[in-house]
């Protein structure tokens, strides 16, 4: 009995030792794979580095013969050693990298993430060869001082999910954006500052319709857009951010914006939009309230919108930011603020609103900025104690009257103070 027990114990110990050795061997193998760098890809990175004329701390670790997977800004696949990430975006403007984008990047065939934002590429055009990096899922060339025509070849990046070409000093133009229809996986599209005047017409572009099911973030600010906002936003049920600000869009806000039930941020500031705020925007919050993901930020300032806010504001009670300044809204300010306790920014200034200030505004305990334009309002403003750090901007149409009001108020205080002093005898 004792001998059988010893045999069993010996077998268990042998099996345990085998598993330990096997585990250590596997760990060594994985570790070996992690530190391996593909020689050809290291050479491609070193050639890419030679295209930069200004020294940068980002390249201090880029030493020939060293493991490129450990270089700053470089990420590799832990199993294959192939370079899959190149993130060289500039952190500090005082140490901005300058140079040229070299074709040696094609020596990184497995690259899926490329961020070259805030690098100064000295107004060179976006190279066509970028469209040959077929595994790219993330491409950020924003604020990189590119100039010229956006190449159609970017449409070959069929796996791309994130594309950002914004902030290139208004030097990029797009004569044709139909190539975007080839980016069937695109979720984020930021073309802020790209001149789209030659392409964007009154009808919705084909590429935008075909991207409607996957697109989450669409930024077309400062794109020289004109005409009316396209009606065909029915299918944009996944869109969370829509920014058409700083253009010259005309007409009314489409009623079918209410179909974008995932919308969190809508920015239409600095356009020439007319008409009233569609009631369907309120329906977004009604539908999203069930999903606990309401419309949070609404920016409509500096347009030509008109009508009353009495019906729409109660429907937008979940907004954190509401900007409708510098329009032509009329009527009373509704007493609907009891349930908007998360609101931190409220700008209703430079309109034609009037009447008594609602007591319920005092319930906005998180409010940091309030602009009403007080020349048309009257009544007490009940301040919650948590507003002590809030910044109130009391603006009206006649700014010069602020000075007059202050002078008169100070004079009254001085007279009252003087009248309370004892007379010299």
CATH at residue 80:
3.80.10.10
Name which of 392, 377, 415 is nearest 345 in CA terms.
Answer: 392
Strand pairing of 265-267 and 138-140?
Answer: unpaired
Specify the range with the lowest mean pLDDT, choosing from 11-15, 252-256, 345-349. Answer: 11-15
Please state, in angstroms and rounded to a whole number, the distance separating the CA atoms of residues 402 and 422. 33
Residues 105 and 233 in one domain: no
332 shares its domain with 212: yes
Look up the domain containing 67 and give its range: 30-86+96-114
Query: Which pLDDT belongs to residue 214?
Result: 85
Q: Give me the residues paired with residue 242 across strands.
A: 218, 266
Q: How confident is the model at residue 155 (pLDDT cuts 50, 70, 90)?
A: very high
Residue 1 predicted with pLDDT over 70: no
Q: How many residues does the chain have?
A: 425
Clarify whether residues 258 and 362 are in a common domain. Answer: yes
The reply to whether 127 and 72 lie within a common domain is: no
pTM: 0.81
In a domain, 18, yes or no: no
- pLDDT higher for 77 or 370? 77
Is 149 a member of any domain? yes
The full DSSP string for 217-258 is EEE-TTS--EEEPPS--TT-TT--EEE--SSEEESBPPGGGG
Asked if 38 and 83 touch (Cβ cutoff 8 Å), the reply is: yes
pLDDT score for 8: 57
For the purposes of burial, counting CB atoms within 10 Å of the CB of 57, is it exposed (0-12), middle (13-18) or buried (19 or more)? exposed
Q: Is residue 245 part of a domain?
A: yes
pLDDT at 314: 85
- Report the C-alpha gap between 344 and 334 in whole angstroms: 18
- Domain assignment of residue 272, yes or no: yes
Task: Give the pairing of strands 83-87 and 74-76.
Answer: antiparallel
Domain assignment present for residue 4? The answer is no
Rg for the chain (alpha carbons), in Å? 30
Q: Is 55 domain-assigned?
A: yes
Q: How confident is the model at residue 255 (pLDDT cuts 50, 70, 90)?
A: confident
Q: Please count the structural domains in the chain.
A: 2
Read off the pLDDT of residues 390-411 as tens digits, 9 standing for 90 and up: 445 544 444 434 444 454 455 5
Same domain, 158 and 44: no
pLDDT in tens, 260-318: 888 899 999 999 999 999 988 876 666 655 555 578 999 999 999 999 998 888 888 78
User: Looking at the structure, do residues 289 and 381 belong to the same domain, yes or no?
Assistant: yes
pLDDT band with cut points at 50, 70 and 90 for residue 181:
confident
What Å distances lie between residue 320 and 185, 282, 297, 298, 317, CA to CA? 31, 14, 6, 9, 9
**Which string of DSSP letters, residue by residue, matches 163-218?**
EE---STT-EE-S--GGGGG-TT--EEE-TT-B-TTT--SSPPHHHHHTTTT--EE
Residues 191 and 215 sit within 8 Å (Cβ to Cβ): no
- pLDDT tens for 193-228 read 999 887 665 455 666 666 667 899 999 999 988 888
72 belongs to a structural domain: yes
Q: Do both 57 and 91 map to the same domain?
A: no
What is the DSSP track for 119-143? Answer: -B-TTPPPPGGGGG-TT-SEEE-TT
The answer on 259 and 222 residing in a single domain is yes
With a cut of 80, say whether residue 4 has pLDDT above it: no
What is d(CA 98, CA 336) in angstroms, rounded to the nearest whole number?
Answer: 53
Mean pLDDT of 104-114: 98
Same structural domain, 180 and 76: no
Distance CA 265, CA 217 (A): 9
Taking a C-beta distance cutoff of 8 angstroms, is the pair 255, 275 a contact? no
Q: Is residue 329 part of a domain?
A: yes
Percent of the chain with pLDDT over 70: 70
How large a percentage of the chain has pLDDT more than 90? 46
36 plus 179 within the same structural domain: no
More confident call, 416 vs 317: 317
Same domain assignment for residues 102 and 229: no
Lowest mean pLDDT among 97-111, 122-136, 354-368: 354-368
- Sequence-ordered list of residues with C-beta below 8 angstroms from that of 350, at least 6 positions apart, any chain: 325, 326, 327, 373, 395, 397
Give me the pLDDT at residue 318, please.
81
CB atoms within 10 A of CB 31: 11
- Banded pLDDT at 126 (limits 50, 70, 90): very high
Q: 150 and 105, same structural domain?
A: no
d(CA 36, CA 198): 48
């Amino acid at each position: 009995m004792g001998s059988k027990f010893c045999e069993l114990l010996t077998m268990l110990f042998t099996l345990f030792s085998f598993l330990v050795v096997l585990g250590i061997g596997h760990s060594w193998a994985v570790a070996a794979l992690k530190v391996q760098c593909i020689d050809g890809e290291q050479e491609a990175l070193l050639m890419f580095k030679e295209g930069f004329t200004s020294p940068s701390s980002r390249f201090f670790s880029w030493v020939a013969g060293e493991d490129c997977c450990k270089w700053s800004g470089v990420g590799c696949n832990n199993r294959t050693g192939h370079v899959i990430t190149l993130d060289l975006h500039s952190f500090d403007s005082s140490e901005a990298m300058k140079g040229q984008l070299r074709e040696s990047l094609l020596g990184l065939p497995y690259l899926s993430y490329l961020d070259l934002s805030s690098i100064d590429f000295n107004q060179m055009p976006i190279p066509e060869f970028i469209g040959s990096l077929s595994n790219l899922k993330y491409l950020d060339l924003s604020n990189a001082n590119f100039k010229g025509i956006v190449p159609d070849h970017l449409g070959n990046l069929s796996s791309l999910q994130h594309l950002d070409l914004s902030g290139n000093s208004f030097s990029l133009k797009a004569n044709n954006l139909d190539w975007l229809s080839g980016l069937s996986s695109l979720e984020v599209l930021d073309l802020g500052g790209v001149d789209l005047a030659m392409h964007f017409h009154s009808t919705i572009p084909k590429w935008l319709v075909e991207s409607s099911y996957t697109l989450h973030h669409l930024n077309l600010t400062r794109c020289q857009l004109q005409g009316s906002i396209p009606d065909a936003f029915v299918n944009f049920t996944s869109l969370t951010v829509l920014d058409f600000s700083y253009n010259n869009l005309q007409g009314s806000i489409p009623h079918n914006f209410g179909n974008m039930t995932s919308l969190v941020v809508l920015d239409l500031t600095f356009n020439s939009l007319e008409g009233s705020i569609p009631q369907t925007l309120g329906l977004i919050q009604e539908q999203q309230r069930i999903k606990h993901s309401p419309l949070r930020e609404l920016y409509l300032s500096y347009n030509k919108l008109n009508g009353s806010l009495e019906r729409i504001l109660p429907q937008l009670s979940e907004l954190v930011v509401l900007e409708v300044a510098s329009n032509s809204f009329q009527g009373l300010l509704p007493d609907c603020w009891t349930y908007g306790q998360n609101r931190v920014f409220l700008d209703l200034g430079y309109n034609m609103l009037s009447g008594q200030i609602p007591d319920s505004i005092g319930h906005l305990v998180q409010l940091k900025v309030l602009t009403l334009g007080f020349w048309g309002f009257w009544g007490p403003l009940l301040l919650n104690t948590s507003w002590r750090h809030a910044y109130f901007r009391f603006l009206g149409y006649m700014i010069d009257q602020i000075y007059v009001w202050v002078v008169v108020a100070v004079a009254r205080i001085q007279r009252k103070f003087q009248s309370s002093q004892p007379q010299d005898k």
